[in-house]
């Protein structure tokens, strides 16, 4: 389903990474959230491809879609 993402317990403690690298998905998403552009990431990580960065975003979006049980309001 996610051709650009790998999860291997022997790599980065099992965190989701860009396939074939040790670059965690959360690192890519956080850098984009902090204002970096895809172009800047491609310069910073020359081994990355645009499709891999977009795959990381797609993977992160799928995690955000998971069903969450709301906590009761503490009041």
Residue 21: inside a domain:
yes
Residue count of the chain, please give it: 75
Residue 69: pLDDT over 90: no
3-class DSSP string for 32-66: HHCCCCHHHHHHHCCCCCHHHHHHHHHHHHHHHHC
Domain span holding position 51: 5-61
pLDDT tens-place string over residues 8-48: 999 999 999 999 999 999 999 999 999 999 999 999 999 99
Residue 73: inside a domain:
no
Q: With beta carbons less than 8 A apart as the criterion, state whether 28 and 40 touch.
A: no
> Residue 9 corresponds to which tokens in the numbers above?
């317990």
Q: Residue 74 has what pLDDT?
A: 64
Average pLDDT of the residues in 50-58: 96
Residue 70: inside a domain:
no
Residue 68: inside a domain:
no
The domain spanning residue 38 has which CATH number? 1.10.10.10
Residue 13: inside a domain:
yes
Residue 47: inside a domain:
yes
Question: pTM score, two decimals?
Answer: 0.82
pLDDT interval class at 53 (50, 70, 90)? very high
Directed axis angle between helix 25-33 and helix 50-65, to 10°?
90
Q: How many domains does the chain have?
A: 1
Q: Residue 37 has what pLDDT?
A: 98
């Amino acid at each position: 389903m996610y051709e650009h993402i790998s999860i291997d317990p022997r790599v980065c403690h099992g965190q989701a990474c860009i396939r074939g690298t040790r670059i965690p998905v959360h690192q890519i998403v956080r850098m984009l959230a902090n204002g970096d552009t895809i172009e800047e990431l491609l310069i910073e990580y020359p081994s990355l491809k645009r499709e891999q960065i977009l795959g990381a975003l797609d993977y992160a979006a799928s995690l955000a879609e998971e069903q969450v049980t709301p906590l009761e309001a503490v009041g």
